[in-house]
């Protein structure tokens, strides 16, 4: 329900209704000079951040494809050309949005992992997968931005999205490490750590994308079922790679 499946038919020739009440940004004072904030200053002062916030909100409200530089400029109360003083292109703006989304996502993962002992690799692997699924499910627009291939090899280490790349590499390394640890402890049926890592990633990525892409209705999965089934799917995978027939240690069996 977070955004319409089709990006609002554009409605040509009709000036858009409402929503356009963004003339003066409600930022109130907040700028460094202690003077009266009544008259909008010529220099914005913090435009870069405001643009990223506007685009970030747009992504959450209506999905990544609907974000336009001009709309972000409108919401920030500046002219159409102004953003290009701060971002080389629309993609660069989106990369900044992706970096911000990834920052928040990373925080949630850290929180989820804090609750799991370091010496239980499979439980950590599971917690990572669950945090990934939950976050993606609850932030489909931001999940899409992060996953968009276009934004990634955006010049490799180009300052903009370098945090994005680093965070991603961290997740890749962690998951490989935990699987290797689990394997060393004799917890896994297979010794092919990379295979299990890629399969696990494909599983959670695919599930999250099915949600974001609106596939679940046609697979007969109702809205309320989606999150519980995400967990069940993850556990099915873990049970499949783990040695023995019992459920993964540390999870309550599904009633």
Partner DNA sequence: ACCTGAACACCGTTCAAGT
Where along the sequence are the contacts to DNA (CB under 7 A)? 9-10, 12-16, 42-45, 47, 67-71, 77-82, 84-86, 88-91
| Cα–Cα dist 193/190, whole Å | 8
**CA gap 178, 45 in Å, rounded:** 45
SS3 186: coil
Residue the block writes with tokens 């990006």 = 7
Q: Quick one: what does residue 85 bind among DNA, a second copy, none, with the CB cut-off 5 to 8 Å set by partner type?
A: DNA
* Closest to DNA by CB, 42 or 219: 42
Rounded Cα distance, 100 and 115, in Å: 24
What is the C-alpha separation between 219 and 236, in angstroms, rounded? Answer: 18
Tokens standing for 240? 């499949």
Residue number with CB closer to a second copy (40 or 150)? 150
DSSP state for residue 49 in the 8-state scheme: H
Is residue 229 within the footprint of a second copy (CB under 8 A)?
yes
Cβ(248)–Cβ(237) below 8 Å: no
Q: Does 84 bind a second copy (CB under 8 A)?
A: no
Q: Is 245 in the site for a second copy (CB under 8 A)?
A: yes
Q: Does 239 bind a second copy (CB under 8 A)?
A: yes
Which of 206, 223, 249, 250 lies at the binding interface for a second copy (CB under 8 A)? 206
Q: Which two tokens stand for residue 160?
A: 């903009």
The least CB distance from residue 140 to DNA, in Å, is 20
Residue 14 contact among a second copy, DNA, none, beta carbon within 5 to 8 Å by kind: DNA
Taking CB under 8 A as the rule, does residue 218 contact a second copy?
yes
List the single partner that 215 binds among DNA, a second copy, none, CB under 5 to 8 Å by kind. Answer: a second copy
């Amino acid at each position: 329900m977070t955004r319409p499946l089709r990006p609002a038919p554009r409605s040509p020739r009709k000036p858009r209704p409402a929503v356009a009440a963004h003339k003066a940004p409600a930022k109130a004072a907040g700028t460094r000079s202690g003077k009266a904030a009544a008259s909008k200053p010529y220099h914005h002062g913090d435009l870069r951040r405001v643009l990223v916030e506007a685009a970030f909100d747009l992504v959450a409200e209506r999905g990544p494809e609907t974000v336009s530089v001009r709309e972000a400029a409108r919401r920030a109360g500046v002219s159409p050309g102004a953003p290009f003083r701060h971002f080389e292109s629309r993609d660069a703006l989106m990369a900044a949005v992706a970096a911000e989304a990834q920052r928040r996502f990373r925080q949630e993962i850290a929180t989820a992992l804090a609750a799991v002992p370091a010496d239980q690799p499979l439980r950590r692997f599971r917690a990572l997968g669950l945090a990934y699924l939950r976050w993606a499910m609850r932030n489909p627009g931001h999940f899409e931005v992060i996953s968009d291939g276009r934004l990634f090899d955006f010049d490799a280490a180009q300052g903009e999205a370098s945090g994005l790349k680093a965070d991603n590499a961290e997740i890749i390394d962690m998951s490989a490490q935990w699987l290797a640890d689990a394997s060393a402890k004799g917890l896994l049926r297979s010794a092919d750590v990379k295979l299990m890592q890629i399969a696990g990633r494909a599983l959670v990525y695919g599930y999250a994308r099915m949600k974001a892409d609106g596939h679940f209705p046609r697979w007969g999965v109702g809205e309320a079922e989606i999150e519980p089934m995400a967990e069940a799917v993850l556990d099915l995978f873990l049970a499949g790679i783990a040695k023995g027939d019992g459920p993964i240690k540390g999870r309550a069996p599904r009633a």
